[in-house]
Structures are given as structure tokens and as C-alpha cells.
Structure 1
Amino acid sequence: MRLADRISTKRRSENMRRIKSTGTKPEMLVRRMVHAMGYRYRLRRKDLPGKPDLVFGPRRAAIFVHGCFWHQHDCRDGKLPSSNSDYWVPKLARNVERDKLVRSALEADGWRVLVIWECELKDHQSTAQRIQKFLSPCRA
């Protein structure tokens, strides 16, 4: 292994260690948005499959805030890394498969599920409208 590769691996390892799974900027943005709309929610209910980021119990609604890279969204930010693909391809594929299983399990149990992608949060108004429509009591 070249010195440059070891430095790169060390730097990547440190970056990965800093990445949080809860309380991320996108999640906090959605939480503030939902709260400002007057909705109240619970965080990551452990009794539900996948521990959704926001849970609206009486409405039987759950919101997941997904990072485009980690959950492989079909956007610019969701592309696979070019290095170490033997590691990344199966890891990210497992995330995508788990997302499908979790969503199916929730829907089979009568829950409505909304996935908000990190890249969608650039358009606050559109995201707020999607959330409002998803949570509104009058659903056709």
C-alpha cells in the first residue's frame, strides 16, 4: 500500500467516524419545519420497524429523512464512490434493501410512510407542502 493510499484511508476513516445517524442537519431541518406547522411527533420509536425519524402515532404516519449517499438516491449526491467499491457497493445495497423491507413492514401494519431525501430539502417550500399534504387529515 502506498503512503498516499494510507493517508487517504486514514482521512476517510476519520470522516466516517464523525458521521452521525441521528440529529443530522437534514433531520433537524425537517423537525423544525414540522414543528412550525404545529404537528407534534415522537422520535425513532423503537417498537416500529426501522425506527422512523419522525412518528405521528395517532395519524399512523412515519417520516424518514434519508441521506442521498447512504440510501442511494437517484441524484448527483447519491453516486457510488469510485474508490474501494468492493466495500461500498454491498454496504450501500444492503441499506437500500433494508429500506424497502422496513417500508413494506410499516405499510403492511397500516402505517403511511413518507421519505424525504436530503437533496429535496434545498426547496423548503416544496418540502413543506409535501409534508403538509402527507399529514393533513383530509386525504383522498
Structure 2
Amino acid sequence: MLVTYFQNHVVTISYDEDMSLGIAIWDGFLSSSDLRDAVEVCLQLIEEHRLLRWLADNRKLRAIRQADQDWIVDSVIPRLAASTLRRNASIVSEDLFNKMAVAQIIKRADNLGDMELMDFDDKEAAIAWLNAPLLVQRQA
């Protein structure tokens, strides 16, 4: 059952405990503080519920500022790599500048640990990939 964990004007964050899945649905151009606050909530959810799967629905997400890209690479990626997360699916943004920003973030992320990343154009394909059996099981 999908439970809403957090919601505001830029993001809806929810999770399904049975599927060990978190979902963030992003909307629009975010200020640095909105982006960073929302990402911190995502990380808190992942750590609190020891999630294995994540779906970022970025279709409506707009450009990400360079300073925020740097923050994601320096602060967020290491926490994700150290987390229980094993599969991270993104539904690609319709915004060209967001696509370029995300590509740069991924290119700069040098250590993802056991986490796999995959981009998708539609939600059904992303969910199918996320639900496929995992090779690495969560530690108790």
C-alpha cells in the first residue's frame, strides 16, 4: 500500500513498505532550499525504512543549478551509496536542461556502491525493472 510520507508544492514523496520502494514525484523549477529540503526528506525516508528501491519521477522537474549539482555529487551520492538502496530508477525529465544536469551528476558520481541506476521514459518500465529480483539482499 502506497503511503504519502511528505508533500509540498514541488514534490510528493511516498513509499510502499511491502515493496521496499520509495517514490518522489517532482514538479517544476525548485529553489535551492526547496530542492535540498526535499532531497533530505528522501534520504531520511530511505534511511528510516531501509528501502531497497527508489523511483524518481522527474518528468516535470526543471533545470538544477550548478551549486545544487555540486551538493548532490558531494553530499547526496555518498549517502545513497552507503544506504540500503539497490535500485534507483528515474523517469527522465521533459526539460532538456534537467536532462543535461542529471547526466553531469551521474558522470561525476564515481562510487555508487551496490546501487544500480537506470533511466526510463515511462513509469511501467521503471516499475517492472524495480520489481525484478535483487541480487543483493538487505542486511538485518
Whether TM exceeds 0.5 here: the answer is no
Question: Which has more helix, going by share of residues?
Answer: 1
TM-score by length of 1: 0.39
Kindly name which structure, 1 or 2, has the bigger radius of gyration based on alpha carbons.
1
